[in-house]
Structure 1
Amino acid sequence: MDSPLQSKRVDRRRKPSKRSPNQSSTPPQKDAYARLLAQHHSSKFRSYLEQYVQESPAQADDSGPASPSTQTHSERVDIPHAPEGRNQAARRGQRRDTATSHDGDVDSAEENGSSHKPSDAKPPPPPPQQRQPKRNKGPHRDCPLQLDTNLINAFKNVCLLSGQQWSCLFCSSSTPGNSPGDKNLKNRGGRGFKKQVFEAYMSHEVVSQGLKRGELLQGPLRINPKNYNDAFIPSPDGMRDIFLDGIVSRNRALNGDVVVVQLLPREQWKVRAVLEEQHSDGDDLPARVAALGLGATGTGGGQLQVVYIVERKHSRAVTGFLKLLPDLPFAKFSPVDHRVPRINVPLADCPPDFSSRPADYANILFICRITSWAEDSSFAEGCLAKTLGQAGEIEPETEGILMEYDVDFSEFPAVVLDCLPTDLPWSVPPAELGRRKDLREECIFTIDPATARDLDDALSCKQLADGNSEVGVHIADVSYFVEEGNALDAIASQRATSVYMVQKVVPMLPRLLCEELCSLNPLTERLTFSVVWTLSPQGKILSEWFGRSVIRSCVKLSYDHAQSMIDGPDRLFSPGELPSMDPRHPLDEVHQAVLRLHALAQQLRQQRSTALKLSFTLDKDSMMPQGCYVYQYRDSNKLVEEFMLLANMAVAHQIYRSFPQEAMLRRHPPPQTKMVDELQEFCDQMGVAVDLSSAGALHVISTAPGDDPYAGARKEVLTKMCSKPMQMALYFCTGALKDEALFQHYALNVPRYTHFTSPIRRYPDLVVHRLLAASLGCGPALGLGVEAVQKQASHCNDRKTASKRVQELSSELFFGVFVRECGPLESEAMVSGVLDESFDVLVLSYGVQKRIYCKSMVGLESFQHHRVGKRGEITLVWAPEGPGGAAVRQVISVFSLVEVQLRADEAALKYSALLKRPLDKEA
């Protein structure tokens, strides 16, 4: 290993050193080692050192004569050799330039030349009769040159401070002795001591006892995607997040892992010098959690560390790039996801010509899987799983996203397809008709996106003589085709959800089921599970019925079709404006049913807000984006949503009444109260009349921002701000959660909720269908117990989170292509958040959010962050344009309107938002 202390060539002549009168002369061994540290490892010096060893007395054990098997110095030590002219920076290690590095940090010895071939020259062994006099405890006892311990320790400290590994060049392969490091040295094959970067994990027994005593805390780990040093787990009191500072504190855990943390002793705490508002620059999460300790546990603030990984939820697969490290047996893999540190990949696992032609692979995406991560290594070890292709191309990037989030996109195997009906085209068996309610003559229709092919829900509504309405929600009966426990059920339970991307869908079930046998296609008899209510004109539920049924949809409407009916209640549609319908149900009948459903939905619905969604138009051949638009969530969407919510709530109550232990429900914990209180203060200061004290109050956001042309943008900004304190909704088994108060769904403000309406694309809905059938006596009892239901619920939570992230990344990917192909794009934007050196904007034309960093802005003379109460502001001063020009002052605060330009970055499919200089002197 190259020494971190290198200097230019020095005179090899021995110079007298200045010593105090009472100081003994320096042993020649110590002086030789000092020169070794100070000089280049040239071949000339190497020869000198070997000659010195040959002339030195033979070393022997204190307890007796040297064993015949004792190795000579040159047999026991690999002296590193670097070519002449190698500069000091190269010896010290390259500066890390990835996001998972600290500025000024250096690569570890693993990446910078810790493996060297031993010298071929071997001096003869010393005569066995020669014995070395005993040494006192001052020298390094395991070193054949008996170096002073103080010098050894000083050298160790210098190495550790510089980020290098430490090993004694003279005794890195010494024979086993009584020192604690002897065993490690033997196991390392002569590589020497290595600094322990991470603490060993606690045992399962110790962790269990610590959790019971309240000395340890458990939770899912979240790593900040914009600042890899910051990580969080939720606190038990729900008040705030618990902060973990730095990679070492995470102890090799990755994002999403369920971990156990411990408060370190006070002497091991790090001082976090960054103030609360300064810390916020790296994260959308509120920065104040960085200063918090364990919240309600009473431990107070301090340094936390992961001591155990309960469950490795992260797939350990990442996309990234390979880089050759000269003269080393492994390559450096740099993940695209900065939350994952770099990985050492054996060259034997790399492409055959990678070592000879590394430049050919500079822009090639790979998938790497982490195989191990030792306590004494800053970097994990891994193997290449797949070569994806050229970075910046849609398909390799998409495949990388799917693999990184562990999405199974393989073809369904034959054993799964064998579970499907073979007598196609399939029709409802006569025996099954006799066991179901026949609704084939009812006016039932679907409302879905125009491109949807898996139609799993349908609606009906007819006027009753007493003025009330009979409303039905009819859901595809997937459980009829997917028998519990067979191969089809097994793969569906593992996939847990369909994954929707811009250009394709990865289905949970085979397409024959999704798009044919279970899809509620028009003019086709299909098996369904129905919930039918009698509702008053005010939306009050007067009666309720659940059961298996058979329907025949009369028409497939898109949201646009339904919206046009809502917008034109008296409009007469021409035949070409709407899809063809079942002649037994004329257009007017369908139109009136849609209007009645809309009126009832308005009665049922509390005001809700939904984020803007970016959608794309794709070229049919290349599947490249030709344009994009912001998807509008309109009354037709809300109509369908309200009745799906009503059905889900009704089924939740039904299955919980019948199976209080095994029911799979969906709960939504209340938000972190401290964050809500601070957000309330902010809204009050901004003059936004929103009461955030309850879930129901959150639904009035849509009316709070005003009625001017920018009210919609302010509503979107406010909605995102209100969502930050929110926790994730979760599937759970009722028998695994003893406190019924925790069953509540906070966002919907209802005590019981589940998912029933999308069994084609969500596995929990399939479980709920089986529970509902068993509760009604029209299906077998569920074969899963409490523990198995909870395990499946937890798995579904993980897959839903992954699916959501894949969908977001797919949208970001395509928008990056759109900016690259059609940009630069200019748009008005609204400031949605202000940090200390940056701010976030909502780009109004495209519905995307981007962060703008003040330090990266061209033409800016200065900027200053300050707080006005709870509101952060940044004052920008733009430099004058040309001689005689005037500086422009611009104040950035939440809801400020600015002009931005979206421009493609050099990195593949990445883009940045640039703030345009305002025209006015005061903006």
Structure 2
Amino acid sequence: MLIILNHWLKSFSPSGANSPADRNKNKGGRGSKKHVFECYMTLEEVSHGLKRGELIQGQLRINPKKYHEAFIPSPDDTRDIFLDGIVARNRALNGDVVVVQILPRDQWKVVKSDTDCEGSSESENQRENVAQTAQKKTARTHRPDVIVEDQCSDQDELVRRVQNTTLTETGTVMMCITIFPSSFVCQVVYIVEKKHSRAVTGFLKFLPDKPFAMFSPVDHRVPRINVLLADCPEDFTTRPGDYTNTLFICRITNWAADSNFAEGQLHKTLGQAGEIEPETEGILIEYDVDFSEFSDEVLDCLPKNLPWTIPPEEMSKRRDLRKECIFTIDPATARDLDDALSCKLLPDGNFELGVHIADVSFFVGEDNALDAVASQRATSVYMVQKVIPMLPRLLCEELCSLNPLTDRLTFSVIWKITPEGKILSEWFGRTVIRSCVKLSYDHAQSMIEAPEKMFSAEELPPVDPEHPIDEIHQAVLNLHSIAKNLRAQRFSGGALRLDQLKLSFTLDRDTMMPQGCYIYQYRDSNKLVEEFMLLANIATAHHIYGKFPELALLRCHPPPKTKMVDELQELCDQLGINIDLSSAGALHKSLNTTLGDDEYTTARKEVLTHMCSRPMQMALYFCSGVRKDKQLFKHYALNVPLYTHFTSPIRRYADIIVHRLLAASLSDLGLSTQEVQKQASHCNDKKTVSKRVQELSSELFFGVFVKDCGPLDSEAMVMGVLDQSFDVLVLRYGVQKRIYCKSILGLDSFHHRKVGKKSELTLVWTAEELEKPPIEQVISIFTLVEVQLKADGAPMKYSAVLKSFEKWADFHHGFQIEL
């Protein structure tokens, strides 16, 4: 069978710029120090290589569970290009924007895999030899002194990397090609932008007879770091044991090409590992989150005369809505209220429906110190026990927050809309409102669930006497009714929502330690607010793009990775799961089709939702002027051509830019395409960081909860199977953990089999004391198991253990059972 590599692939045979092999030859003469890493190309070489299509630029992603695996997107962004090993990354860290070079063609081995190609005649032994060669090559590229806890790759994962690594030309999928260079598929030749902060949390280890200590980062994707003893605590050399559990922050200052290890300086001593505040501070510093107090220069930008009142000249410029029935619906603990709703029945049976958003841009002027710090922070960061605000609290919680019974400045979108949700007219403008009540989601939910009930004043927060409780109740019911219609229209029109379990905590008021945890319930009151925020964002996107086609700050959601979607579809077909991944709407419909009629239907849907989330890409801000193809504007999940963020300016800087664009549509504007795109890119970075910090905060608190309250028992459902381990979704807590077969007590043996895309593990349990033959338990996707979560000794860490088989298995002599 002939395999033809077309032009896109041919372009990676270096011609102009030096190849890695060439550069190795020129590293120096006799006596020169051998380099561990390749020397970087020059900027000129990189520029030429990118123009000729010989090099690829992209953002590096390192697998957190298998530190030697890394990826960048392919040029057509339908799949990933693989980098195997530390050497291939060439000192780049997770998140860095890098340039990579595919190795010369004489270093490739092209192998056909009979799992992907029909008519393959290659023997099993030949493929096994290739896999064994890969292991040897990979081992040579890894640092010999790296120790990684629970990070070892499963055997079939290594073979998968070797046998299924593919490249594509735009629109062409080379499914039958395995490209296996002498040591890795491609390597980093230049770092365009060091997005990683180079600050990491970790521990110091004393090395006798060395002038430096070894710093071991908690994040195994970062190398070990040499720290000069002079930079360590004064008594570290005499009492190193005192610092065994001390958490430090270290910043990488240099990483030479001839060293396995980076060099760094200690930035700060955080405190004892396992304590929430030191661990939290470490997360914030590591992810470059600015949590410092706002400077006097920034605070000087705020109003001085407090309590502040709206100036009469500003009132005259705005539509006065203070007598309207307008209210907020937020979490009970929320203090930054940036959106409010109104819904008034009109004589003709239609409704005047308004979304009213805090006018933050009134207080955050352009090009002052307050604007500079807000644009740099770009987003508020929400952790379990605290919020790192984008703006000073005077703005977040007072002047901009739409607190009840207080005059506040807003930007409003007001529609005339039918009960069925058809928009008849639309108005944008600056307004002033006076919220009549601060409802929580629980209050609104109670009103929705009891439409006939007469609520008393004692059941609600303070209410404006000009608006009776039953008027507010009826407005909530009308909003709910319209929202249901809008939601039904969105999903029938092809929208998608992938809901994943979200863990929430109850905290002790004094210590802020976790007292309990629960799965957050997404109810009708949440859906009500979400529906009108989406409607406002879509309307605003169309408005600003219509006014400023080259300057609009929009938000797109790219379609999922093609290769991952194809693999998932193949797996689901093999499992007999009727799922359609051809579009967002088809997927949504499939996920909401019944997956059984037992009590575990919801669990199966959660596992399947997680599987479908893997191919999805991140939504991104962009400036409309930098994309010429309007197809690239589209939001995949919402299935709309234009979308933006307008509804949360207190916590997102992107929304402030959108507010300025909206204001300029009514007057003048002083922004450029380059400025908007630069800020859009920065907002993307900070959005990603904020999401990750929030996840780490939740993991931190749950680790403390398991340590203090565990062991915790729960049912779990299998989400994925490898050759020596399997991943489970712990149903009671919504967390995902990996269980390693070699760590299961009482297990006699296990063996793995893979048919097509379906992977299975058979666990063989011994029952000698019961004089029973061994019993087999088959583990595959959707298998239900019993697990126990328990602290595993390391600070903040916990593991999932398959509960002892004798305690809960149903023994049946001579039968193979699946539990």
- Counterpart among 197, 217, 227 of residue 36 in structure 2: 197
Match of 1:818 among 705, 711, 721: 705
Supply the distance in 2 between the matched residues of 1:842 and 1:911 (Cα, whole angstroms): 15
Aligned to 1:356: 238
1:493 aligned onto 2:363: no
Amino acid of the structure 2 residue aligned with 1:803: S
Determine the structure 2 residue equivalent to 1:218: 57
- Aligned partner of residue 597 in structure 1, secondary structure: helix
Correspondence 1:775 to 2:665: yes
Q: Which runs of 5+ in 1 are unaligned?
A: 1-178, 183-191
Is it true that 1:789 corresponds to 2:676 in the alignment?
yes
Q: Which runs of 5+ in 2 are unaligned?
A: 1-26, 110-129, 136-150, 492-496, 812-816
1:505 maps to 2:387: yes
* SS across alignment from 2:234: coil
- CA distance in 1 between counterparts of 2:507 and 2:195 reads 34
Native 8 Å contact 2:323 2:434 kept in 1: yes
Task: State the distance in 2 between where 1:414 and 1:915 align.
Answer: 55
Please give the residue correspondences for 1:331-480 in structure 2 after superposition, counting only pairs within 5 Å. Answer: 331-480=213-362
Query: Alpha-carbon deviation of 1:527?
Result: 0.3
Query: Does the residue aligned with 2:470 lie in a helix, a strand or coil?
Result: helix
Residues 242 and 295 in structure 1, CA contact (< 8 A), matched pair in contact too: no
Which runs of at least 4 in structure 1 moved beyond 6 Å after TM superposition? 282-286, 297-300
Give the whole-Å Cα distance in 2 for the aligned partners of 1:657 and 1:293.
Answer: 41
Alignment of 1:50-89 (within 5 A): none
For 1:254, the aligned partner's letter is L
Between Structure 1 and Structure 2, whose CA radius of gyration is higher? Answer: 1
Tell me which residue corresponds to 1:640.
529
Q: What is the number of residues matched between the two proteins?
A: 731
Q: Which residue of 2 aligns with 1:7?
A: none
Matched, 1:252 2:134: no
Matching of residue 616 in structure 1 with residue 509 in structure 2: no
Deviation at 1:588, TM superposition (A): 1.2
Aligned-partner Cα distance in 1 for 2:542–2:156: 39
Residue in structure 1 matched with residue 121 of structure 2 by the alignment:
none
Assess, with a 3 A threshold, how the Cα gap between structure 1 residues 374 and 818 changes in structure 2: closer, same or farther: same
2:723 is the counterpart of 1:836: yes
Question: Is 1:693 aligned to residue 575 of structure 2?
Answer: no
Query: Aligned residue for 2:398?
Result: 516
The separation in 2 between residues aligned to 1:286 and 1:572, in whole angstroms, is 66
Which deviations, in whole Å up to 9, do the C-alpha atoms of 1:696-750 show, x marking residues without a partner? 2232223443453222222211111111111111111111122111011111111
Aligned to 2:622, the other structure's residue is in SS state strand
* AA of the residue aligned to 1:866: R
Q: Deviations over 1:574-622 (max 9, x none)?
A: 3322222111111111111111111111111145342111010111111
The match for 2:740 among 853, 862, 865 is: 853
8 Å contact kept, 1:221–1:259: yes
User: Would you say the 8 A contact 1:226–1:282 is kept in 2?
Assistant: no
1:675 equivalent in alignment to 2:557: no
**Equivalent residue number for residue 738 of structure 1:** 628
Q: Residues 287, 409 of structure 1: CA spacing in aligned structure 2 closer, same or farther, 3 A cutoff?
A: farther
Which of 873, 883, 897 is the aligned partner of 2:784? 897
User: Is 1:291 aligned to 2:164, yes or no?
Assistant: yes
Instruction: Verify the 8 A CA contact 1:243 1:291 in the aligned structure 2.
Output: no
Does the 8 Å CA contact 2:538/2:642 hold for their aligned counterparts?
A: yes
Q: In 1, distance between residues paired with 2:800 and 2:97? A: 35
Is the 1:226–1:283 Cα contact (8 Å) retained in structure 2?
no
Is this contact kept in 2: 1:901–1:913, CA < 8 A? yes
The answer on whether the counterparts of 2:413 and 2:536 sit within 8 Å (CA) in structure 1 is: yes
Aligned to 1:198, the other structure's residue is in SS state coil
User: In the superposition, relative to structure 1, how do residues 838 and 832 fare at CA in structure 2: closer, same or farther (>3 Å)?
Assistant: same
Provide the secondary structure at the position in 1 that maps to 2:542: helix
Q: Equivalent residue for 1:172?
A: none
DSSP 3-state at the match of 2:751: strand
C-alpha contact (below 8 Å) 1:463/1:470 kept by paired residues:
yes
- Quick one: which amino acid aligns to residue 610 of structure 2? K
Hey, what does 1:10 align to over in structure 2? none
Task: Check the 8 A contact 2:457/2:469 in 1, yes or no.
Answer: no
Partner of 1:588: 470
In structure 2, the CA distance between the partners of 1:267 and 1:256, relative to structure 1 (3 Å rule), is same
Distance 1:448 1:364 in 2: 39
Instruction: Tell me, in whole angstroms, the C-alpha distance in 2 between the residues paired with 1:665 and 1:908.
Output: 42
The alpha-carbon deviation at position 826 of structure 1 amounts to: 0.3
Q: Distance in 1 between matches of 2:377 and 2:162?
A: 35
Aligned counterparts of 2:263 and 2:559: Cα–Cα separation in 1: 40
2:760 matches 1:760:
no
Shift of 1:181: 4.2
* Contact 1:243 1:290 (8 Å CA) reproduced: no
Equivalents in 1 of 2:158, 2:586: separation in Å?
23
Of 719, 741, 746, which residue of structure 1 is paired with 2:609? 719
1:308 paired residue number: 190
Q: Is the 8 A contact 2:498 2:613 kept in 1?
A: no
Deviations 1:350-395 (A, max 9, x none): 1111111111111100000000111111111110110001000000
Return the letter of the residue paired with 2:306: L
Between 264-273 and 829-838, report the one with greater CA deviation: 264-273
**Higher RCO, 1 vs 2 (CA within 8 Å, ≥6 residues apart):** 2
Letter in 1 for 2:356: H
SS state of the match for residue 764, structure 1?
helix
SS state at 2:238 partner = coil
Decide whether the 8 Å contact of 1:655 with 1:772 is kept in 2.
Answer: yes
3-state secondary structure, aligned to 1:718: helix
Partner of 1:318: 200
Q: How does 1:645-656 map to 2 (within 5 A)?
A: 645-656=534-545
| Deviations, residues 886-919 of structure 1 (Å, cap 9, x unaligned) | 4221111111111110000110010000111241
Instruction: Name the stretch that deviates more: 678-687 or 334-343.
Output: 678-687
Q: Specify whether residues 660 and 813 from structure 1 end up closer, same or farther in structure 2 by C-alpha distance, changes over 3 A only.
A: same
State the 1:283 CA deviation.
12
Counterpart CA distance in 1 for 2:62 and 2:102 is 18
What is the rounded CA distance, in whole Å, between the counterparts of 1:472 and 1:180 in structure 2?
71
Does 876-885 or 666-675 show the bigger shift?
876-885
Q: CA deviation at 1:692?
A: 1.4
Which deviates more, 884-893 or 735-744?
Answer: 884-893
Selected match of 2:599 from 682, 685, 709: 709
Q: Which amino acid aligns with 1:210?
A: G
Secondary structure of 2:685 counterpart: helix
Structure 1 residue 869: deviation in Å?
Answer: 3.9
CA contact (8 A) 1:561 1:578 kept: yes
Q: CA RMSD in A?
A: 2.2
